[in-house]
Amino acid sequence: MNSATRAQLLTLGALVLALAVTASAQSQKSDRCTAYLAGQTIVMSTDPTEGVKTVPDSACVKRGRSVSWTSNDGEWATDFYPNSPFSNGRRGHLGKAKEKYGDKVKRCNRSDSNYKENRGGCVYKYSVDLTTGDGKKSHKDPEIIIEPELGQ
């Protein structure tokens, strides 16, 4: 094998690796919910590379059950856009470190505008803003997915 062929193989290998990394990153946001939790608490914390880290990033919640948020540090806020997943219509929550707030999610029908078959339910994107105790501000846009009604 000559050096030109070796260089082409290395270039091809690098391209395949880059495509695999890109596909992996894209698939994270298109994951389908297969299991839904009766209650979900999303924990926010600071992360040196992401700014705000939410665990989980995509929360799968049973229809009619609750989702809540808390943080390890500072003050936090959530805001759902353009519409709310909560049965009471609330669009967001505010809290301080160690405080936990949330609401019951509404039902999800396959006819809802937020329903995404490939994601396994009604997808609601929201923003998280976290201001740490030392004044650093971070922002992230995670999502929750609500289990659809059976037989619809």
Two tokens at 61?
Answer: 């919640």
> What domains can be seen in the chain, in order of their start residue?
36-146 (2.60.40.420)
State residue 59's pLDDT score.
93
Two tokens at 125?
Answer: 């994107």
pTM (global) more than 0.85: no
Strand partners, 70: 43
CA 9 – CA 75 distance, rounded (Å):
51
Vertex 38 angle, CA 32 and 51, to 5°: 60
Is a pLDDT exceeding 60 seen at residue 32? yes
pLDDT in tens, 61-92: 999 999 999 998 889 999 998 889 998 788 99
pLDDT in tens, 43-57: 998 887 778 888 998
Q: What percent of the chain has pLDDT over 90?
A: 57
Number of neighbouring beta carbons within 10 Å of residue 60: 21
pLDDT in tens, 135-148: 889 999 999 999 99
Strands 143-146 and 58-71: parallel
Q: Judging by beta carbons within 10 Å of its beta carbon (0-12, 13-18, 19+), is residue 121 exposed, middle or buried?
A: buried
